[in-house]
Amino acid sequence: MEMHQIRYFLAVCDRGTFTRAAQAVYVSQPSMTQAIKKLEEELGGELFVRDRGGCHLTALGRLVEPNLRRIFLEAQAIKAEAIRFTRLNTVPIRVGMMNTIGSQSLNPVFADFQRDFPRIELELIVDTESNLLRQLDAGYLDLVISAPIALPVRPFQSLLLYRERYVVVFSNQHRFKQMQSIDLKALQSEPYLDRLNCELREKLKSVCRDLHIELYAAYRSNSEEWILNMVRAGMGVALMPEFSVPKDTELVDYRNLIDPEIIRDIHAIFQTQVSPKPERQALIAKLQQGF
């Protein structure tokens, strides 16, 4: 059994026809048909049944598909890890970070991990959750830290790290500075800075509709840094996760949002079908200890 045979088999499973599968893996259809025929001979039976609707797995095909997929994913992960190791000459861990996750709560954990494991490099990739999960599925990431609206299903596993409140962020000259906490209705009279990448954006819209609150979005941006810079300039107020707000500046302040309180859960997400490497397990253990 060769790896290209497994790859062709999985391509037919995912694409539904030999024609589309051959196009997806850039081989001719006769070459793909011959490779799968050899795989069937080795496994002792047909793997697909063809009809007008395409290709369907036989009972034997359904039996071997999970294990062949696991073998292929592990081979991808091994190859990606070997490439990273030869380039960096160290043991690298690639962590995907959703672009709305602030660094304040995680940096102390990463620093502690580095002290305990000085030969392991951390490579942080910041992107949208959907892009990161695709990279995790392909074996290019070892771990994703995200705030999912719905927990991903297999082949992923989720571990709750911490909970984070949403706060109202404003410039240090704003009238909100005199308040102990701020309810959502108080934002109606303020220019609102809309964070387009906020994963709870639709939930916030729903809450506003239920409470008959209308927030005037004076400015919108998909960049957390731009939103913070607009807050600093006094252009409006924003709702942000607590740990995304810088604590070492005199130009920005914040107060807890109440009525309603909005909280998000931060998870570590990782593959279950790929054999875990010790370095990833060590980082997960450190994250558990840190919160």
Q: Kindly report the backbone phi and psi dihedral angles of residue 75, in degrees, each rounded to the nearest multiple of 5, phi listed first.
A: -65, -40
> What integer is the mean pLDDT of 18-47?
88
Burial of 202 (0-12, 13-18, 19+ CB in 10 A): exposed
- Give the pLDDT of residue 135: 86
Q: Kindly report the backbone phi and psi dihedral angles of residue 7, in degrees, each rounded to the nearest multiple of 5, phi listed first.
A: -60, -40
Residues in a beta bridge with 217: 192
CB of 241 closer than 8 Å to CB of 162? no
Residues in a beta bridge with 256: 167, 181
Among 24-28, 39-43, 246-250, 278-282, which is the least confidently predicted range? 246-250
User: Long-range contacts made by residues 284-289, C-beta under 8 angstroms, separation at least 24?
Assistant: 284/143, 284/159, 286/109, 286/112, 286/113, 286/116, 287/109, 287/159, 287/161, 288/159, 288/161
Which among 199, 205, 217 is positioned nearest to 130, based on CA atoms? 199
- Give me Rg for the CA atoms of the chain: 25
Instruction: Give 73's pLDDT tier (boundaries 50, 70, 90).
Output: confident
- Let me know if domain 3-74 sits in CATH 1.10.10.10: yes
- Give the pLDDT of residue 84: 64
What's the predicted TM-score (pTM) here?
Answer: 0.65
Q: Quick check: bond before 260 cis, omega within 30?
A: yes
**Exposure pattern of 227-251 as b/e (b: 16+ CB <10 Å)?**
bbebbbeeebbbbbbbbbbeeeeee
The CATH code that applies to domain 165-263 is 3.40.190.10
Residues in a beta bridge with 241: 166
Which among 170, 172, 203 is positioned nearest to 189, based on CA atoms? 170
Q: Provide the CATH topology of domain 84-163+265-290.
A: D-Maltodextrin-Binding Protein; domain 2 (3.40.190)
Helix (H) or strand (E) holding 257: strand 252-258
Integer Cα distance of 209 and 192 in angstroms = 16
- Give the pLDDT of residue 231: 92
Q: Which residue ranges make up each domain of the chain? A: 3-74, 84-163+265-290, 165-263
Integer Cα distance of 47 and 59 in angstroms = 8
Is the fold of 3-74 the same as that of 84-163+265-290?
no
Does position 89 have pLDDT exceeding 80, yes or no? no
Does position 248 have pLDDT exceeding 80, yes or no? no
At residue 18, the 3 state secondary structure works out as helix
